[in-house]
């Protein structure tokens, strides 16, 4: 085996190994927690947490024991009067009643604290990081312009590219068949 062949094989092995490691990291830190329901990607719809978190940002919220939440943490919780609505606000105070923790919350951009205390039973999780502007992407893709730019045009480019490759392969095979026929005559 040539030295260059050995180097190319080593590069391939290293590339595959790195790809597998990155894949496993993504699997165990993002995909499995999402499937298990302990990690949530949520689009922020209002500016109540501005400038820390803006409308259109995506917050990544991870389930945490309520006892690990401290004042200053940003949490996501279910509204007490509408369990389908999730709110993400900062914890400004924590109290306990009848062995149940309650969180007093406030949006950073809001003048006053939220009127309702958040029970530990309404806690969805703690915000572990924010991805700015990512929440706009699904809305953009759903728009006619976004659908055209992100779905239709790449689809046409892919079909054109693959058609060209097929045409070139057919042309090359036809040329090789013609050359073989000339040699045989």
Domain ranges for the chain, please list them.
1-36, 39-134, 136-170
CA distances from 10 to 7, 14, 16, 23, 31 (A): 5, 6, 10, 20, 30
Question: Tokens in use for 105?
Answer: 């919350």
Q: Can you give the pLDDT at residue 8?
A: 77
% of the chain residues with pLDDT over 90: 55
Which residues of the chain fall below pLDDT 70? 1, 3, 28-37, 180-181, 184-185
Residue indicated by tokens 């606000």: 89
Tokens standing for residue 82: 């509408």
Summarize pLDDT for 109-160 with one digit per residue, the tens. Answer: 999 999 999 999 999 999 999 999 988 888 788 889 988 888 899 999 999 9
Give the pair of three-digit tokens for residue 176.
Answer: 């090789």
Tokens of 50: 């501005």
Eight-state DSSP code of residue 30 = I
Tell me how far CA of residue 75 lies from CA of 2, 6, 53, in angstroms: 59, 53, 12
For residue 177, which phi and psi values (nearest 5 degrees)?
-65, -45
Structural fold of domain 39-134: Umud Fragment, subunit A (2.10.109)
Please tell me the predicted confidence (pLDDT) of residue 34: 64
In order of 75, 106, 113, the CA distances from 59 in angstroms are: 10, 17, 21
Integer Cα distance of 34 and 174 in angstroms: 51
């Amino acid at each position: 085996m040539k030295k260059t062949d050995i180097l190319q094989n080593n590069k391939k092995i290293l590339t595959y190994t790195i790809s597998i490691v990155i894949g496993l990291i993504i699997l165990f830190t993002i995909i499995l927690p999402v499937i298990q329901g302990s990690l949530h990607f949520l689009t922020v719809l209002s500016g109540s947490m501005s400038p820390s978190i803006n409308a259109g940002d995506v917050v990544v919220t991870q389930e945490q024991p309520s006892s690990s939440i401290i004042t200053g943490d940003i949490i996501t919780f279910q509204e007490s009067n509408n369990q389908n609505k999730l709110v993400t606000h900062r914890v400004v105070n924590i109290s306990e009643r009848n062995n149940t923790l309650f969180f007093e919350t406030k949006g950073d951009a809001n003048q006053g604290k939220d009127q309702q205390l958040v029970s530990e039973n309404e806690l969805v999780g703690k915000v572990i990081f924010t991805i700015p502007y990512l929440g706009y992407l699904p809305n953009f893709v759903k728009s006619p312009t976004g659908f055209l730019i992100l779905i239709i045009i790449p689809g046409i480019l892919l079909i054109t590219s693959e058609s060209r490759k097929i045409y070139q392969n057919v042309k090359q095979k036809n040329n090789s068949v013609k050359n073989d026929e000339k040699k045989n005559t």
